[in-house]
Amino acid sequence: MNRQTILLISDMRQVYLAEILTKKGRNVRCLDIRNSGTASEQLEKLKGFLAEADMLILPIPVSKVPEQKTLNDILNKNLINGTLVLGGCFSGEQVKILKRRDIHFLDFMEDAVVTEENAVATAEGAIAELVNNSPYNIDEAKIIVTGYGCCGRAIAARLRALGARVTVLARRREVRREAKKDGFYAADFAFGPEEAMGAAMLVNTVPAPVVTRTMIRELPRDAYILDIASKPGGCDFACAKEYGIRADLVLGIPGKYAPKESAYILDRAIERFALREKEGNA
């Protein structure tokens, strides 16, 4: 029996992913939750479909499902043993439910390969946001990048290639050392206010409150802050508004700027996960 792969569609990544999986011979059933007005109806359908599902693919992040409580109830009551669950940025409660039910799951955002590959699309999309929203050219601009993980590294490298003067702010000494080894000026967040002076743009990748009032008040009023960290971001948005500085929290950049490439990244992750599960059960 060709069991179903159920895919909740929240952006174009899942649309392309459905096409890819279908071409590979999977029996894919899509539930479109992009319209919040009909999301409840789609989740009701999900309850019935799970009995014949060997895989459930949730959005990135999973919080894009409008009714989280309903989703959690479904994960707790309607999933059957043996159904593989995949998604991005599961909540703590969802992780507890899946582990308690002994449901095998993959968080795409904790997969090292996905993180590395997504960083490229994220960096290119972040630069597109800067170009669209900053009144300055990237060339010769002083730009602060907070954090130097996969996304921070990819963004800093591409900004430098475009002629920007990049400063990396990072909390850990070993991370600053790595950034310096890559040729960037790097400093601790304690020096953030000093580095903010004259910065045309700031890109935050840290999911913690690091872009604080002390830093924001030193930025030029026509600076642009782009926060790509997971909700609620790492910027004091109320403070930025108080000082008249534009600050945007932009999530899901790969799905916005490179949805088809992102779908292929997810497909490869699904194949790796399914293969590991198959080998584990052999």
H/E stretch holding 141: none
Does 1 score more than 60 pLDDT?
no
For the chain, what percent of residues have pLDDT higher than 90? 88
Residue written as token pair 């790492």: 234
Q: What is the band of 225 on the pLDDT scale with cuts at 50, 70, 90?
A: very high
Does 188 score more than 90 pLDDT?
yes
| pTM assigned to the model | 0.84
Residue 153: strand, helix, or coil: helix
For the chain, what percent of residues have pLDDT higher than 70? 99
In degrees and rounded to multiples of 5, residue 180 shows phi and psi of -65, -40
Show me where the domains of the chain are located. 4-110+259-281, 114-251
β-bridge partners, 211: 235
* CA 187 – CA 173 distance, rounded (Å): 9
CA distances from 280 to 157, 201, 273, 274, 277 (A): 39, 48, 10, 10, 5
Query: Among 115-119, 157-161, 218-222, which stretch is predicted with the lowest mean pLDDT?
Result: 115-119
Residues 6+ apart with CB under 8 A from 165: 140, 141, 142, 143
Averaged pLDDT, 246-275? 94
Q: What is the pLDDT of residue 2?
A: 60
Give residue-wise pLDDT tens across range 85-102: 999 999 999 999 999 999
Q: Which CATH number fits domain 4-110+259-281: 3.30.56.10, 2.60.40.740, 3.40.50.720, 2.40.30.40?
A: 3.40.50.720
CA distances from 167 to 98, 180, 185, 241 (A): 41, 10, 5, 23
Give residue-wise pLDDT tens across range 116-142: 999 999 999 999 999 999 999 999 999
Q: Which CATH class is domain 114-251?
A: alpha beta
The gap between the terminal CA atoms of the chain, to the nearest Å, is 19
Does 178 score more than 70 pLDDT?
yes
